[in-house]
Amino acid sequence: MHLTLRDKQRKSVPALLAGGMLLCSAFATPLASAIDFGGLVNSASLAVKAATLSDTEVIELAEKSCAELDRTNQVAAPGSKYAKRLATVLKPMNMSQFNGKALDAKVYLVSDVNAFAMDNGCIRVYAGLMDMANDDEIRGVVGHEIGHVLLGHSKKSMQTAYTLQAARGAAGAASGAVAALSQSDLGNLGQKFIQAQFSQSQETAADDQSYGILYKEKLSRTGLVTLFQKLAKQEGSEHSMFSSHPSSPDRAQHIQSRIDKDG
């Protein structure tokens, strides 16, 4: 059933306190005896742990947080027009798996123009993006998100998200990254992952990865150009997936230059 997508939009979770701020405010109080030093030490140790999360742990966190995001967002049913279209769009990319994990692509019935991919093969495309983009453009976006995974950017984003959860004392166990997080924490973890910002060089590298995937399969790369041209008109919008990214016109020109060179 076609939904009024704006009405289905989920609210963003409140910003989480940074670990340093938490520690500073704690040690500023004269009532030192009332401070839960054990909790602070545990949070600090988990923050350190986050920086050294193994690939296996990152994938496990991705599986759990993606599942929680699926639970709290309306997912397009397998037989719906959105699900059918996404399957059709992705089929020519010949990526039944990436990062050694089976591809699991679904559509969130959310009006935001957004998409993300996680290290466990989870790909989620928002209905708002599908409504404004053609098939070539959607392939370009998905290739871009997969590029972040293949280049290790997504792993670092998951580590950062986990650090934020540790800093707020949400993780209560000293061992076992996933076991230390509650269901709500996993949802917050996923939200922080989605909201992660990449550097300009990382965004350009992910664009180039998408270009490479499309080029390899002899698919149109023009969608990356027209996508950025469309997004250029939306820059400054809070709902734009690229609002914190490099200039969309510059990215469109970069891809067009590659197309001109490669033919």
Supply the residues annotated as catalytic: 145
* DSSP code, position 106: E
Q: Going edge to edge, which strands form the sheet with 104-108?
A: 104-108, 122-126, 115-117
Cβ pair 40, 26 in contact under 8 A: yes
CA distance 244 to 113: 13
- Count other Cβ atoms within 10 Å, centred on residue 229: 16
The H-or-E segment that residue 126 falls in is: strand 122-126
Amino acid at position 196, single letter: A
CA distance 122 to 106: 8
The dihedral over CA atoms of 29, 16, 50, 153, expressed in degrees to the nearest 10, equals: -150
Between the alpha carbon of residue 141 and those of residues 71, 162, 231, the distances in Å are 24, 25, 12
Cβ pair 217, 94 in contact under 8 A: yes
CA distance 215 to 207: 12
